[in-house]
Structure 1
Amino acid sequence: MYNHILVPVDASPEAENAVGHAVHLADEIGADIHALYVAGDRSTDDSADRMGSKRGDRALDGATERADEHGVPTQTAVAEGDPAETIVDYAGEINADLIVMGTHGRDGVNRLFNGSVAERVGRRVSIPVMSIRLDDAGQSVNSPLEAQRIAREKLERAGHDDAVIESPSQQRTSWVVRASDDCGEYNVHINSVSGRAKVVHVG
């Protein structure tokens, strides 16, 4: 399904939440994680550079620790530049086949990855981009019928009312529901503990 999952990080709760989603998915399917911290353009303020460096170290160390807990192979990188452009370029360099991004909305002044960055990345890459919001919530999912119901609701909210849904596949900590319509094919990933669901366009 996926081999190389790219996760941009910035030491925020939203990014840490995205790392958790990416690690669980990678653990289930045998993929590896690439954690990327984008430092932005170099500042003339040395104190700002030091703060950015510490934030990057903290973000990358946190991602590595989460992955190590599950035995997921991890690589880390730091880059400078425009966040969206840098993420897109790095995804190409590592042959990523999925990008998982935590989103903050558009009101965070000091936060590097906001909703608009995720949208720009999504428009420029040909691989799926999974946007994870911190306030995504749900409930435990214990049956295929419940997984299908959640997948149907998620697809309808995404505008895929006529999607044909296949029987769910149960992984260790999630359900994967395949679906398709005239616009393409999708995998709906549903966390079996929280009920959180994400639609990924796969073809």
Structure 2
Amino acid sequence: MAYKKIVVAVDVNDASSTLMAQSIELAVKEGAELAVFHCLRQSTVAELEDRIGTFTEMDQASSHRRRIERKDAQVTHAEAWLQGLCILAKGKGIKTRTHVAVGNPGEDIVEYAGDWGADLIVLGRTNRGTLADLLLGSASNHVVHHAQCSVLLVHTQQTSG
């Protein structure tokens, strides 16, 4: 089967270089376009309050503005990181694109791949453990069960960070 559109979903906790290397190798072999995808998790209100102060210290409009500014800064940082990951692929003549989503990684990967018409999704699978996957959910598990295209799981070592 020939792949023409490959989504590689990277996460800061994955060994992105391993995922990118395998994705680039496959894209070169197949003559495919590569979309490098990252999803920022939606922060909870409690997490945001810890970072920007309590709602009693500032009015809601100011709090809302600070949340938007923080999210925008995270998206900008993630986009720059993805562009950096694309440099090697572009050097090998692979057409690349990047996409940063904010939300649920598993769901957003499947949605993006479907909207773009991807033939293959490449993503990392850490050995975080069955219990952690049950409690926290697993993006790779969601993608395997819901994607409308082929999925390649690359075993990666989870890094601390």
**Normalising to structure 2: TM-score of the pair?**
0.69
Q: Which has the higher helix share?
A: 2
After superposition, what is the alpha-carbon deviation per residue over 1:115-148, rounded to whole angstroms, capped at 9, x for unaligned? 921111110013111011136xxxxxxxxxxxxx
1:57 shift after superposition: 3.3
Aligned to 1:31: 32
Q: Which has the higher strand share?
A: 1
Contact 1:11 1:56 in 2 (8 A): no
Aligned to 2:155: 133
Q: In 2 relative to 1, CA 10–55 (structure 1 residues): closer, same or farther, beyond 3 Å?
A: farther
Give aligned-pair identity as a percent.
28
| Equivalent-residue separation in structure 1 for 2:84 and 2:13 (angstroms) | 11
Q: Aligned partner of 2:118: which letter?
A: A
Aligned to 1:179: none
Aligned length: 129
Aligned to 1:82: 104
Q: Aligned partner of 2:156: which letter?
A: L
Contact 1:11 1:55 in 2 (8 A): no
**Normalising to structure 1: TM-score of the pair?**
0.56
Contact 1:83 1:117 in 2 (8 A): yes
Structure with the bigger RCO (C-alpha within 8 Å, sep 6+) is: 2
Contact 2:27 2:33 in 1 (8 A): yes
1:24 shift after superposition: 0.7
Q: In 2 relative to 1, CA 12–58 (structure 1 residues): closer, same or farther, beyond 3 Å?
A: farther
Q: List gaps (5 residues or longer) in structure 2.
A: 52-66, 130-135
1:65 shift after superposition: 0.9
Q: In 2 relative to 1, CA 120–105 (structure 1 residues): closer, same or farther, beyond 3 Å?
A: same
Q: Aligned partner of 2:148: which letter?
A: S
After superposition, what is the alpha-carbon deviation per residue over 1:74-113, rounded to whole angstroms, capped at 9, x for unaligned? 0011111111000010011100010000222226xxxxxx
**Within 5 Å, which residues of 2 pair with 1:1-203?**
1-42=2-43, 44=48, 45=51, 49=71, 52-53=74-75, 56-106=78-128, 116-134=138-156
Q: CA RMSD in A?
A: 2.6
Q: List gaps (5 residues or longer) in structure 1.
A: 108-113, 136-203
The farther-off stretch of 52-61 and 117-126 is 52-61
Contact 1:105 1:115 in 2 (8 A): no
> Could you say what secondary structure the match of 1:26 adopts?
helix
| Equivalent-residue separation in structure 1 for 2:144 and 2:152 (angstroms) | 9
| Equivalent-residue separation in structure 2 for 1:105 and 1:3 (angstroms) | 30
